[in-house]
Amino acid sequence: MRWSRYALLLAVISNIALIVSLFWIAGVHTTERLLLAGIFSLPLLASLNGLARARIYTAAWASMAALFYMAYAMVEYISGVATLAVDLCLGASIAMFVGTVVFAKWDAREREATRS
């Protein structure tokens, strides 16, 4: 059984949840922030294709991008916008980070085990 697929599934689901939460946060405030949410979601949309194809390189840089979204959610939370959308954004970014890192690690171990 390939356990890395569960981590990959976590990464893909949290990537989609992060896109939804970005637009939800923007919709709560003003319509001008919808453009910002669209720009913020472009790296997530780019990484979604690579994650769906189970590419380790994409998972590696998507884990670094997840840190940016985690910082964004923390800034929104600290600035006084403590809504369910910000909580979802923070939770999804943490889940995406964990899913991508664990997928890259476990997939490398599983490939090594099949070679031996």
One pLDDT digit (tens) per residue for the chain, 116 residues: 688 999 999 999 999 999 999 998 887 667 778 888 889 999 999 999 999 999 999 999 999 999 999 999 999 889 987 788 889 999 999 999 999 999 999 998 988 888 87
pLDDT of res. 30:
75
CA distance 91 to 27: 19
Residue written as tokens 């890259």?
104
Tokens in use for 39?
């720009």
Tell me the whole-structure pTM to 2 decimals: 0.89
Closest among 107, 115, 114 to 57, alpha carbons compared: 107
pLDDT of res. 1:
61
Q: State the total domains in the chain.
A: 1
Question: DSSP state, 51?
Answer: H
Domain ranges, residue 99: 4-115
What are the φ and ψ backbone dihedral angles of 54, each rounded to 5 degrees? Answer: 60, 50
Describe the crossing of helices 4-28 and 32-52 by its angle, rounded to 10 degrees. Answer: 170
The torsion angle over the Cα atoms of residues 110, 65, 10 and 14, rounded to 10 degrees, is -170
Tokens in use for 95?
């889940």
